[in-house]
Chain A
């Protein structure tokens, strides 16, 4: 399985370089809960930037079939979104539906100057016209495989691949 060879820590190094090139003077990082939020937290520390967390739960298009997520994750943006260049960070980009939902969520807080997206892994399979400005890796996975970022007690990243009949 090629997917198991994904070295999340090495890819993080590439993401850090990629994100550095995307920065504008006033850029704020916004990590998509949960994997993207971990990445944004570490990037913010490494790059001395402010970072927020954003959740897709209030704008999901599968609410009707999946219902309200039980987790109390909620968006925390400790800065004014108005006029700010926003760099969204996610661990895995797949259909693009989560990205669409968090862009809507972001606009509930104001009108950012721009919104860009950087991801650790792009696994293809897009169902919406959304493309990242940077991805550290591209992989192809079967639909039923679920790829998620995991973080251990020391804060080190790894990838978790699961076969899931209900993969998003």
Chain B
């Protein structure tokens, strides 16, 4: 075989690490979404906890800060009865000069069963997956500009929940696509699930033409980009982009690409509006839209916990 085996799968084709959505079989994505549906119903019980990860230790390794993602992983692991350890790596080992692999080796010696990794360098979770003990599973919680697979999966869960099916959908992703690992994971997932029209919408500096290679339609005009869309995914405009030559100003961006009630009318009447959070009101999205009846931003957060529970329980049940 010419192709290398996907490092996320074992020899039976089962998921052992979640590093990227790219290259995942469609069946595994559906398995994760179906399992998440089971976990969503756990919220309706008197006991909102299941014992699948009892006796397992999940280490949250956040080399880059993210309170929200870390918290949802922590809640998900605790609902599965795992012991959770949050390590603020950025302020401890790394600051003292320890290498990434030495940190991982030390934590493995503390009998970790799963690492949830957030890192500013693309590929860091791959490196950890290649070097950790065989029984340890790795979940990528966002690496550089590369991937944020659980966000991509929770976005797919949200779309499936509200739209039932991926066939015949038009999905517009709006904003800073080039720097967004969320956009990248969404685009891979939408392609695998067979969404016929994926649009990347934003200014030329943030949505370069070569994104077409990922199978998306590039639109530099907001009206063209969201017209007749079924799903609009707004991305956060990261403040640090404003300082460079990427954008003239936040006000200018909002005027052209901010989602307002008027612009939303161009989309299908039943279109849903998504956002990975945290939202910048008045920068990429108007308050009327973020709080409006087409917004599914808060359901995304709830689904995110169920999706992370699904990912962790599926990984824990598969052997390398």
Contacts and interface: CB of A to CB of B under 8 A. Distances in A.
A42 to B, nearest CB: 24
A58 B52 contact: yes
A128 interface: no
B52 A72 contact: no
B51 interface: yes
B213 interface: no
- Which of A66, A68, A72, A74 has the most chain B CB atoms inside 10 A of its CB? A68
A72 B34 contact: yes
Interface stretch (B37-45, B161-169, B192-200, B290-298): B37-45
Given A57-B38, A74-B37, A74-B41, A68 B50 contact: no
B46 A72 contact: no
B93 interface: no
Contact of B51 (A59, A66, A74): A59
A110 B46 contact: yes
A68 B34 contact: no
A107 interface: yes
B314 interface: yes
Contacts of A129: none
B103 interface: no
Nearest to B317: A67
A57 B47 CA distance: 16
A70 B31 contact: yes
B314 A58 contact: no
Q: Size class of B's contact patch?
A: 20 to 34
Contact of B314 (A67, A74, A107): A67
A25 interface: no
State the main secondary structure of chain A at its contact with B: loop
Contacts of A110: 46
Most buried by B among A58, A59, A73, A75: A58
B317 A108 contact: no
Interface in A36-92: 57-59, 63-64, 66-68, 70-75
B2 to A, nearest CB: 29
B64 interface: no
A64 B47 CA distance: 22
A59 to B, nearest CB: 6
Contact of B37 (A58, A72, A108): A72
Contacts of B310: 68
Interface in B30-64: 31, 34-35, 37-38, 41-42, 45-47, 49-52
Contacts of B122: none
A68 B313 contact: yes
B317 A64 contact: yes
A63 B35 CA distance: 14
A58 B38 contact: yes
B186 to A, nearest CB: 23
Contacts of A57: 38
Given A68-B313, A70-B31, A59 B50 contact: yes
Given A68-B313, A109-B45, A74 B38 contact: yes
Contacts of B35: 68, 70, 72
B317 A58 contact: no
Contacts of A74: 37-38, 41
Given A107-B47, A110-B46, A63 B317 contact: yes
Q: Count chain A CB atoms within 10 A of each CB in B46, B316, B318 and give the residue with the most.
A: B46
B238 to A, nearest CB: 35
Interface of B: 14, 31, 34-35, 37-38, 41-42, 45-47, 49-52, 310, 313-314, 316-318
Given A68-B310, A70-B31, A70-B35, 15 more contacts: A57-B38, A58-B51, A63-B52, A63-B316, A66-B317, A68-B52, A72-B34, A72-B35, A72-B37, A74-B38, A74-B41, A75-B41, A107-B47, A108-B45, A109-B47
Which 8 pairs across A and B sit closest by C-beta, in order of nearness? Answer: A67-B317, A72-B34, A108-B47, A58-B50, A74-B38, A68-B317, A108-B45, A68-B314
5 contacts: A58-B38, A70-B31, A72-B34, A107-B47, A108-B50
